[in-house]
Structure 1
Amino acid sequence: MDTQIELSPLIRRFGVLVVDDSAVQRHSAVELLRGMGVEQLYEAADGHDALKLLRMLQPTPAVILLDLEMPGMDGIETAQQLVQEENCPSLLIASSAEPSILNAVAGMAEALGLPLLGTLRKPLTQQTLSLALAHFESTHVKGVAATPPPQVAVPALAEALQQRQIIPYYQPKIRMADGEVAGLEALARWRQPDGKLVPPVSFIEVAEKNGLIDELTLTILDQVLHDLVRWHALGFNPTVAINVSAPSLSDRGFGNAIIERTAAANIPPSAIVLEITESALVGDLAAALGTLGRLRLKGFGLSIDDYGTGFSSMQQLSRLPFSELKLDGSFVRHSPDKWQLRTILEAAVSMGQRLGLATVAEGVETQKELALLYSLGCEYAQGYLIAAPMPAAELPAWAGRERERLQGICRLAAASRGG
């Protein structure tokens, strides 16, 4: 018996537009939706008709249920055109196409910023439809019309750096073998005098383009070192990862500054892990190798961040002195349900192990993802399942309060593997 999930009132009220060239398939989908309590239902036979209808309808339907294989404008082109629409419904793709094609289209939709509910293989059932539509609230809030936050002015950023308004928030990383907090990632957050936070997307690129990124990184490092001194006195001894930008790797003085400041704080270099994205290695490789080599020689940890999203290869990884490989969250998300992502994760973890690198998965949000990573042999996990980023002052209490829960989710992950 199918289990029906309560639909969002917005879907019930504003309805669904079903786009399919088959009248039989459209009718079947409409009847399923009507049986789920959707009040407003609209139909279109191809992408052209769907776009015309969307522009006419007020209010816009909450969801568009879109077939891929249609004459005229197919579903892929229709999805691409939806980006241009002033009011874009949440998108649910339904097709008989093979899973690899559905995954590719889903990736395209996400890259375009479309509010994607998911992909379904035909024939549709009330259960598969209701499960997909249950994701409506989160995609509706995001919305395709959302605009990125405005970038800040350079003088304002320079002043914020001088006044130490940019501070580290720490996201914990746990060891999956026992659930203990093994490390933290320091993430730059700009807290204004009124208490409001400026998102990193508004100022990191500005810093990189205007010669402020070294100062920003070193400002974060100074505060991390200060926090480590206090934590060590409390018996809390995590490693802390700091993100390093591509332009900084080309500057010999930047590497010297890290070495000197860490020594002055009397913190062992092994307590600091420098995270470098793959894309940072496609510029001045000779300069980057020199900086990374010196830092690794001094005992700093080096992590290749967002692995799988850049241009690295086995050969390049073997040439660089990394100690850690960090798997990008885009491969972790939904991996329990997509065999392609599981295959990529398995290959990445295996490669890291062969190269003698610690493997860290970021973006872990569900117990199923943690269990899969455990089964693949990934050593560390980071993400909202463990904790959101937090100020330094909150960490010791959080670690004590959450220790039992973290151990519990790791035991559950191990048991899932065994079961």
Structure 2
Amino acid sequence: MISLHSSINLSPVDDLHEDLYQRGILVVDDSSMHRYSAHLCLRAFGIDNIVEVPNGKLALDHLTRQVPPPAVMMLDLEMPVMDGIEVLQQIATLAHKPAVILASSSDEVLISAVATMAEALGITLLGAFRKPINPADLSDALSSYAAATEVPEPQIKNALNIDLAQLKQALERASIQVFYQPKIDLSTMKVAGVEALARWKNTQGDWIPPSLFIPLAEEHGLIGDLTLSLLEQILQDMNTWWEQGNYIPVAMNLSAKSLAEFNLANEIIQRVIRQGIPAHFITFEITESALVVDLPSALATISRLRLKGFGISIDDYGTGFSSMQQLSRFPFSELKIDRSFVHGAPERQYLRNILKSAIDTGIRLGITTVAEGVETEAELHLLKSLGCNQAQGFLLARPLPGRELLGWIERAAQSQTPYAKHLYPDS
């Protein structure tokens, strides 16, 4: 399971969570050699509480006996008696679950599929690797335990109590604000534009996740009002930036329900004209799923906006089932590559192939390619080498209020490495 023939110097890891020492780690693998290698590596990291079992049935027996369970289970997939997939399905039913690190000799596509299944079952997944696991990868996976198992902050829990009346009040008071996440041109490493994101802090000072209030707005026919409220704020911010000589392109999302609203395109066009902003400085991002909800309405809205000069981006490209068909049907000016194809691509050949294919598609069509969710320098360097045009993600910048954006851009212009950790201390 672990390759000890590595140049890494095995030694205790400084930032491991206390749970890993107290509750220990369960190693499940039918190979005694792999169990022994894992044991040696974990001991070198300073973890002494280690239990080894050769199959899934014994692993489940141990999990039901130990309460609380081991902090982490290192799980093989190919095993007699009960394979790793069955083990994951059984773990999902337990009240107390360990975090999981998958290890397998199977191909990367299968490992990735099982990893996706585990996360969909509500299991905390720290990593999924081909055997033998490099000690550095294992160290990184164990170091992520604290963040992966962190209990949500109270304000996030409070957000679950929002209702329609609160949303209507927030719209009336324009309490739902716009934050901007910079997008970086990978050829120059300068700011190429920003994506506008909706952020709502309620009267109690709690941040309400967009995953809660946007579906609520869609369900009750308020998504158009929300879209226009955000657009007004964006246009005001753009005018402020323009007055200071900063001509920053902005992208914003349009939901499937918005595309079906007959007059929305007219409202957008009129408001942009009224504010005097050239249409080509604004791009509307549309997810693949939105394109199949009401095809005639989607085509009409998108085509009218494109006709007036607005940019149209296909968001989360590759997550749908008819991407090439959608690209041929709609007048897209930008292809936005989903985070799921960026994460892990430097280490996994099949993901690199998918990522390269998406970028090459954009290049052949003559449209801008944007990779989202970039979190590591290895991902950034890979995207540059593949010819991707732009990138955004926490490595580069977190979303900022409009009043702070110009300061960030100024710092980015003066820095040779415009990364969030260098330019924005709170990122």
Given residue 14 of structure 1, which amino acid in structure 2 is its aligned partner?
R
- The answer on whether the counterparts of 1:151 and 1:202 sit within 8 Å (CA) in structure 2 is no
- Structure 1 residue aligned with 2:127: 118
**Following superposition of structure 1 onto structure 2, how do residues 94-173 of structure 1 map, counting pairs within 5 Å?**
94-123=103-132, 126-127=135-136, 129-141=138-150, 150=160, 152-173=162-183
Deviation at 1:167, TM superposition (A): 0.7
- Structure 1 residue aligned with 2:22: 13
Q: Which moved more, 1:382-391 or 1:42-51?
A: 42-51
Q: What is the distance in 1 between the residues matched to 2:111 and 2:123?
A: 15
Residues 1:405 and 1:51: Cα distance change in structure 2 (over 3 Å): farther
Given residue 2 of structure 1, which amino acid in structure 2 is its aligned partner?
I
Given residue 232 of structure 1, which amino acid in structure 2 is its aligned partner?
W
Residue-by-residue CA offset, 1:106-156 (whole Å, 9 max, x unaligned): 23223334221212333456555434323322223279xx98962621111
The yes-or-no answer on 1:357 pairing with 2:363 is no
The yes-or-no answer on 1:284 pairing with 2:260 is no
SS for the counterpart of 2:316 is: strand
**Following superposition of structure 1 onto structure 2, how do residues 11-410 of structure 1 map, counting pairs within 5 Å?**
11-123=20-132, 126-127=135-136, 129-141=138-150, 150=160, 152-405=162-415
SS for the counterpart of 1:335 is: coil
- The answer on whether the counterparts of 2:280 and 2:309 sit within 8 Å (CA) in structure 1 is yes
SS for the counterpart of 1:186 is: strand
- The answer on whether the counterparts of 1:364 and 1:381 sit within 8 Å (CA) in structure 2 is yes
Query: Is there any run of 5+ residues in structure 1 with no aligned partner, and where?
Result: 410-419
Aligned length: 407
Identity of paired residues, percent? Answer: 48
Q: What is the distance in 1 between the residues matched to 2:338 and 2:207?
A: 25
Residue-by-residue CA offset, 1:324-370 (whole Å, 9 max, x unaligned): 11011111111111111111111111111111211111111111111
Residue-by-residue CA offset, 1:14-72 (whole Å, 9 max, x unaligned): 10011223445434433442343222222333323322321221332111011111223
- The answer on whether the counterparts of 1:239 and 1:271 sit within 8 Å (CA) in structure 2 is yes
Q: What is the distance in 1 between the residues matched to 2:82 and 2:312?
A: 48
Q: What is the distance in 1 between the residues matched to 2:342 and 2:233?
A: 30
SS for the counterpart of 2:48 is: coil
- The answer on whether the counterparts of 2:21 and 2:48 sit within 8 Å (CA) in structure 1 is yes
- The answer on whether the counterparts of 1:276 and 1:305 sit within 8 Å (CA) in structure 2 is yes
Deviation at 1:400, TM superposition (A): 0.6
Instruction: Give the alignment's TM-score, normalised by structure 1.
Output: 0.91
SS for the counterpart of 1:141 is: coil
Q: What is the distance in 2 between the residues matched to 1:304 and 1:129?
A: 36
Residues 1:311 and 1:52: Cα distance change in structure 2 (over 3 Å): same
- The answer on whether the counterparts of 2:374 and 2:394 sit within 8 Å (CA) in structure 1 is yes
Q: Which moved more, 1:361-370 or 1:24-33?
A: 24-33
Q: Structure 1 segments of 4 or more deviating over 6 A?
A: none
Given residue 326 of structure 2, which amino acid in structure 1 is its aligned partner?
Q
Q: What is the distance in 1 between the residues matched to 2:332 and 2:116?
A: 29
SS for the counterpart of 1:61 is: coil
Q: What is the distance in 2 between the residues matched to 1:126 and 1:242?
A: 42
Q: Which moved more, 1:27-36 or 1:341-350?
A: 27-36
Given residue 42 of structure 1, which amino acid in structure 2 is its aligned partner?
V
Given residue 393 of structure 1, which amino acid in structure 2 is its aligned partner?
R
SS for the counterpart of 1:203 is: helix
Q: What is the distance in 1 between the residues matched to 2:235 and 2:82?
A: 57
SS for the counterpart of 2:22 is: helix
Q: What is the distance in 2 between the residues matched to 1:116 and 1:44?
A: 20
SS for the counterpart of 2:263 is: helix
Residue-by-residue CA offset, 1:238-296 (whole Å, 9 max, x unaligned): 11111000011112201111011111111111121111000000121111111111110
Given residue 132 of structure 1, which amino acid in structure 2 is its aligned partner?
A
Given residue 415 of structure 2, which amino acid in structure 1 is its aligned partner?
R
Q: What is the distance in 1 between the residues matched to 2:280 and 2:160?
A: 37
Q: Which moved more, 1:55-64 or 1:197-206?
A: 55-64
**Alpha carbon RMSD of aligned pairs, Å?**
2.2
